Amino acid sequence: MKDPIKIQDNIYELPRGKKILRVGGEVQTFEMEVPVRIYANDELIKKIKQDKTIDQLTNIATLPGIKKYAIGLSDSHQGYGFNIGGVAATEREEGAISPGGVGYDINCGVRLLKTDLGTKEVVPQIKILLERLFQNVPSGVGSSGKIGNITPQSMDELLEVGVNWAIENGYGFDEDNLYCEENGRLDADPDNVSSKAKGRGKSQIGSLGSGNHFLEIQKVAEIFDEDAAKVMGINQVDQVTVMIHTGSRGFGHQVCTDYLRKMERAVRKYNIQLPDRELVYVKGKTPEAKEYLSAMGCAANFAWCNRQMIMHWVRQSFSNVFKQPVEEMNMNLIYDVCHNILKQEEHEIDGKKMMLNVHRKGATRAFPPGHPKIPKKYKEIGQPVLIPGSMGTASYLCVGQPKAMELTFGSTAHGAGRHMSRRAATRNYWGKKVQETLEKQGIYVKAQRDKIIAEEAPGAYKPIDQVVQVSHDLGIIKKVVKLLPIGVTKG
Amino acid sequence: MPSGHEFLEHTADVQVHVWGHSMEALFKETGMVLMSIIVESGEVRLEKQIDITVEAEDWESLIFDWLTEFLYYFDTELFVVGDIDIHELEDREGGEEDRFIIKSSLKGERYDKERHVPGTEVKAITYSYMKIWQKENQFHMKIVFDI
């Protein structure tokens, strides 16, 4: 494998070429349709080169109808088929649509809500608050939602109307949907979802899950852009915010699994050769692609409902601890972003506008000021972008900027990205010790088990400040607020 | 040589190398490894049995589909597998294309917070860098689980 070449600060490129691979016992040649682009600084590129990220990006570059580049963002690491932290945009009809380019956790995403409270009020209550959140928000292995068994009719309705289902059923306020990407609903057809997926989703709606998913109480540590921060309701340092990171749970995992298998059959039908089995795709114009999109929409809608319900329980927990009605707490949703998703969007290529299938796998949409898809409130500042750090490190609230449309199809990184395997992390860190160290820094962690704290130790991740700085320096996003955790609950 | 496994380094997910003296042993070991990621330890009582039959087009997709059933039963019934019987595992040649089939019974019980030590949820089985091979009467597989 050739090394990517640095073409300017924070931009590396690997030119087009041929890939000669042994597939199913036969040697085959795959042509890269576009170059590979990686946005990283000199230190991050070294970490990115250590695993199979670049190999996976060169595979993605062979997909039909891919435009401009196969993109690796500053948080890139090895995934399955597609790397994590990447964007692949293909022509709407003739280009590839690949479930692997979205991932198993469809519409895994992040939402951030503000409070009017400061650390002065919250820190003395932090342990009680974490305890309450831990009780109110189901998390961990085998966690099922607490809403009981949802009827098949309700499930189908939820899958079709997205976040609005949760709002109509009393989880949150009417205006919450304004501050979700796509207003918390994608076009969806529950008939294209298997009963297996619905079965896995039924018990898990309204639960956080485990792994890297979290619920975090944070404080504003630094404000970089006061005007933009004010628009989002952030007025001062030490103001408290809450971040929720989770996705579509077993429902989305099963949808992805089902469609990988369906598309494998389609791949034989259309006689498509693949460099990696996990990279199965069909062209956008095929019935299989349309079916997948409508099922993916269901999973996206499921995830929005999930985050909405969890947010509702967060608001209730705060209301309960601070003895104030939920309506008076002003815990407004700042924004909700998806970071595993496929969107059909209009982009400009060589001066021509065209519709593309934008696969964002571990990538966050970052539309600039004035973009029609941004809520009115944020039109002038750009779309809010949430980039969470690892447990115990900073997270960033940013806004999309014009360069994103030119460099990354309106996208940026989605988090710190691991650089150490979970196994290596448990060899290098001891959960209790990590917990103690964090506690000395004023960060309380409550987890279902100690080992997860070791696996998610801050040292196992890439440095978030650098990941964000790369996108900031490239003009893809602008940093607005830096947030530091004060309390974390993990499944 | 008895069945066994070793975990391999993988940045974000779990990759495991599994071996066994037969294809049955290989499948069984892989199933038990998958379960040990979700529920790390604790006695599993063999109180219930779930029969699973899967057909697929090759060995890789057969293990993929079969293991996906484990995730389905854990997510829907919190079913923890403590033992596996494989009644039939074969490559049925003939007709238009090869069919691969497994008939099995998963034995175990419902997840019990008091007795079972939780591990990590496995989101999905993947084909990523999946490889099945035979060397000196020993069957091997590499597989990545998305967690």
Each residue's pLDDT tens digit, A353-362:
999 999 999 9
> Which among A393, A383, A396, A389 is positioned nearest to A482, based on CA atoms?
A396
Residue-number span of the structural domain to which B139 is assigned = 4-146
Of B11, B60, B72, the CB nearest to A196: B72
Contact A423, A472 (CB under 8 A): no
Is residue A1 predicted with pLDDT exceeding 70?
A: no
| pLDDT of amino acid A477 | 98
Query: What's the mean pLDDT when you consider all of chain A?
Result: 94
| pLDDT of amino acid A423 | 82
Which residues, other chains included, contact A66 with Cβ-Cβ below 8 Å and sequence gap of 6+? A33, A34, A60, A88, A89, A90, A95, A96
DSSP state of A475: T
A22 to chain B, any CB pair closer than 8 A? The answer is no
With beta carbons under 8 A apart, name residues in chain A contacting B147.
211, 422
Among B116, B127, B142, B145, which would you mutate to test the A interface (most chain A Cβ atoms within 10 Å of its Cβ)? B127
Percent of chain A at pLDDT > 70 equals 100
> Which among A105, A102, A98 is positioned nearest to A266, based on CA atoms?
A98
Single-letter residue type at A379 = K
> Which among A312, A8, A337, A335 is positioned nearest to A170, based on CA atoms?
A312
Among chain A residues, CA nearest to B110: A142
Helix axis angle, B59-77 to A195-202, nearest 10°: 40
pTM: 0.95
Q: Report the CATH number at residue B39.
A: 3.55.10.10
Is residue A149 predicted with pLDDT exceeding 80?
A: no
Among A214, A249, A262, A422, which would you mutate to test the B interface (most chain B Cβ atoms within 10 Å of its Cβ)? A422
Which residues, other chains included, contact A424 with Cβ-Cβ below 8 Å and sequence gap of 6+? A460, B9
What backbone torsions phi and psi does residue A278 show, to the nearest 5 degrees? -75, -10
Among chain A residues, CA nearest to B57: A265
Among B128, B129, B142, B143, which would you mutate to test the A interface (most chain A Cβ atoms within 10 Å of its Cβ)? B128
**Which of helix, strand or coil describes residue A83?**
strand
Low-confidence stretches of chain B (pLDDT < 50) are none
d(CA A49, CA A40): 11
**Which of helix, strand or coil describes residue A289?**
helix
Contact A182, A345 (CB under 8 A): no
Look up the CATH superfamily of A5-95+106-419+461-490.
tRNA-splicing ligase RtcB (3.90.1860.10)
Is residue A387 predicted with pLDDT exceeding 80?
A: yes
Q: How confident is the model at residue A46 (pLDDT cuts 50, 70, 90)?
A: very high
Average pLDDT in the A30-37 region? 97
Interface touch B120/A277, C-beta < 8 Å: no
Examine the residue annotation and report whether A414 is marked as an active-site residue of this protein: yes
| pLDDT of amino acid A194 | 98
- Catalytic residue, from A253, A414, A419, A472: name it: A414
Kindly report the nearest CA distance between residue A333 and chain B, in angstroms: 28
With beta carbons under 8 A apart, name residues in chain A contacting B7.
423
Is residue A435 predicted with pLDDT exceeding 70?
A: yes
Residues within 8 A of B (CB atoms), A 240-279 only: 250, 253-254, 256-257, 260-261, 264, 276-278
Percent of chain A at pLDDT > 90 equals 83
Give per-residue pLDDT as tens, B81-99: 999 999 999 988 766 667 8
- What would the two tokens of residue B12 be? 């974000």
Question: What's the number of domains chain B is made of?
Answer: 1
DSSP state of A347: E
A215 membership: H or E segment, kind and range: strand A214-223
Average pLDDT in the A317-345 region? 97
Contact A20, A28 (CB under 8 A): yes
Residues within 8 A of B (CB atoms), A 58-87 only: 77-81, 84
From residue A54, how far is each of A41, A79, B3, B144 by CA, in Å? Answer: 15, 11, 34, 18
| pLDDT of amino acid B95 | 62
Give per-residue pLDDT as tens, A204-263: 999 998 878 999 999 999 999 999 999 999 999 999 999 999 999 999 999 999 999 999
With beta carbons under 8 A apart, name residues in chain A contacting B126.
80, 104, 278
d(CA B23, CA B5): 14
B121 to chain A, any CB pair closer than 8 A? The answer is yes
Which residues, other chains included, contact A306 with Cβ-Cβ below 8 Å and sequence gap of 6+? A205, A206, A207, A246, A247, A248, A249
Is residue A277 predicted with pLDDT exceeding 90?
A: no
**A203-228 burial: b if 16+ Cβ within 10 Å, else e:** bbbbbbbbbbbbbbbbbbeebebeeb
Range with the poorest average pLDDT among A123-137, A214-228, A399-413, B118-132: B118-132
d(CA A282, CA A317): 46
> Which among A197, A193, A167 is positioned nearest to A180, based on CA atoms?
A167
Residues within 8 A of B (CB atoms), A 321-340 only: none
Range with the poorest average pLDDT among A32-46, A85-99, A114-128, A446-460: A446-460
> Which among A375, A377, A383 is positioned nearest to A400, based on CA atoms?
A383
Among chain A residues, CA nearest to B75: A200
Is residue A447 predicted with pLDDT exceeding 90?
A: no
| pLDDT of amino acid A369 | 98
Of A78, A277, A455, the CB nearest to B11: A78
